[in-house]
Amino acid sequence: MINVELLKKISEIPGAPGFEKPIRDYILEQVKPLVDEVYLDSMGSVVALKKGSSDKKVMVAAHMDEISFIVTHIDDEGFVRFHTLGGFDPKTLTAQRVIIHGTEDVVGVMGSKPVHIMTSDERNKAPLTKDYFIDTGYSVEELKKIVHVGAPITRERELIEMGDCVNGKSLDNRVSVFILIETLKALQGKEIPYDLYGVFTVQEEVGLRGAINAAGHINPDFGFGLDVTIAFDVPGAQAHEMVTRLGKGAAIKIMDGSTISDYRMVEYLKQLADQHKIKWQAEILPKGGTDTAGLQRFGKNGSIAGAISIPLRHIHQVIEMAHKEDINDCINLLTVAIENLDQYDWSF
C-alpha cells in the first residue's frame, strides 16, 4: 500500500532543528527528478517547484526537522547535559538511546537517578528533562575529542511495521515528508492549474520558523499545511479527547492552537474527499500549532490556507505510530486537492 522502505529511510535520518543537513540532502536526492526546479532558501528549507498552467501559487509545507536535543555541558566525568529542541514528554526518556552528532556519531543513553535510592517525594513526582543526563560510556578526555557544546542529539530508533501501522521515531513529521514526496511522484506527467511549491521546511519544532520565512518569499495564494495530529484513541480516553483515530482516514484541520483554517479550504477538502471516496475525519486540536499558521499569515498577501493532518499515536514521545491506510488517504487527498484548485468557487 505504501513504500515502507522509503518511509523508514526518511524516518531514521537525523535532522534536529537548525541541523537539518542530513535529511535535507536525502530529500534533495529524492525530489530533483520529480519537479521543474529545486532550490534552498536562506534558512535551508527545500523548495521543489512544479510549474502549473497559470501564475497563481500553491504552497505545501512539510517540516523536515524532528524534536531533538543540543549539548549544553560535558562534566568532569564525561556525562552530557542537554537542552531540548522542541517539546518532549520527559517520562518517556528514561533509559532511551540517543545519538550525539559530534565530529562522529556517539551513541548514549538517557540516565537518571535509580528508583531504589529515590526519596518517596522523588518517586511520586513527574520527571523533568533536567533530571536526565546522557551516559556515553566514554571518558571525559575521549568524549571531548569528538563531542562539543552545541552538538545536536537525536533519538536512536528504527521504523518497523506493527500490524496495519508503522512505528518509529520522528513520524512527526517525516511521515509528511514522505507524503509530499509521494504526492510529487503521483503528479508526474500531469498538468496542474497553479505553480506548486512543495516546501520541506526547517525549524518547525521550535516555532514554525522555516515556514514563516518560506511563505514570506513565495507569497502563495493557497496553502496546505502537512503535519501530524493527535490520535488519542487508546484505553481510558473519552470520545471528546481523541482528536482523531487511527485507520479512520486523513484528518482535515478545522483549527489548532495557531490557526483557524479558512472555511473555504475546509469545505473544499471535505467535498473532494467525498467525491473521490477518500476516508477523512475532522480535526480540532486545542493546543499546538503547525506550519499552516506560517502559510496563512506570513506571505505578503496571506493565503487561503488549511491542512491535511496524519493521525498519530504516542506523539512527541520516543516512538510514534501511524496507520498505513491513513497515510495513503493523505497522499490521495493532497494529490486531488492540488489538481482541482481551479475548479472550486473561492469567493467568500
Q: Cite the active site residues.
A: 204
268: amino acid identity, one letter = Y
Cα separation, 307 vs 148, in Å, equals 39
Give the three-class secondary structure for 90. Answer: helix
Say which amino acid occupies 269: L
Radius of gyration (C-alpha) of the chain in whole angstroms: 21
DSSP-H helix ranges across the chain: 4-12, 21-31, 120-124, 140-146, 171-186, 209-218, 263-275, 292-297, 324-339
CA 113 remoteness from chain centre: 32
Interatomic CA distance for residues 255 and 264, integer angstroms = 13
Q: What span, in angstroms and rounded, lies between the C-alpha atoms of 246 and 227?
A: 15
CA 197, 174, 320, 109 torsion-angle sign: negative
Separation CA 206–CA 292 (nearest Å) = 15
First-last CA distance in the chain: 38
Cα 26 to Cα 13: distance, rounded to the nearest angstrom: 8
For the chain, the maximum distance between any two Cα atoms, rounded to a whole number of angstroms, is 68
